[in-house]
Amino acid sequence: MCPDRFRKHQRGAGLPIAIFVITALALIVAGMAQQQQSTGLAVSQQILSQRAFYAAESGAQAGVTEALYGSGCASVPGSLSFSQAGLSGCSATLSCSAVQADISGSPAPETIYTLVSTGQCGSGSEQARRTIEVRVR
């Protein structure tokens, strides 16, 4: 039972198998990390998009209030900046147009206001915009 006699039968397959396993695991970990990063960016963009939608919605509501209870389209502000916690850093750009139309068949035509509100949040490559159009009379 001398140790030299058993060495002749060893081929050394353990090292290539270990390198293969380590490489395969490294590729799996790298793929999972990349997927996690892209998922995080998608969630971040979705949240920014929702904030832009609510900024546009808030701008449209403010514009409707001004158009109906103010002096028409002249009292609708051109833009709004928000400082509340949920919409901090967001803004809304408003435009208003008015037309006279006979809707209900009455002798006096009614004024129909069309308000377009564009909400924007973020800046640069991380920016989201949403536009809402509202018609009221």
Rg over CA atoms, the chain: 32
pLDDT tens readout for residues 11-40: 677 888 889 999 999 999 999 988 888 887
Residue with tokens 């969630």: 43
Task: Kindly tell me the burial class for residue 19, based on how many C-beta atoms sit within 10 Å of its own C-beta (0-12, 13-18, 19 or more).
Answer: exposed
CA distances from 46 to 16, 28, 80, 121 (A): 45, 27, 22, 11
Name residues whose C-beta falls within 8 Å of residue 122's C-beta, 6 or more positions apart in sequence.
48, 52, 89, 128
pLDDT tens readout for residues 118-127: 999 988 888 8
Q: What pLDDT sits at residue 88?
A: 87
Q: Residue 57, SS3? A: helix
Strands of the sheet containing 90-101, edge to edge, are: 79-81, 90-101, 110-123, 126-136
Q: What pLDDT sits at residue 29?
A: 92
Residue type (1 letter), 40: G
* Reported confidence tier of residue 133, pLDDT bands at 50, 70, 90: very high
- Six token digits for residue 114: 């069309």
The domain ranges of the chain are 13-136
pLDDT tens readout for residues 48-98: 999 999 999 999 999 999 998 988 888 888 889 988 888 888 999 999 998
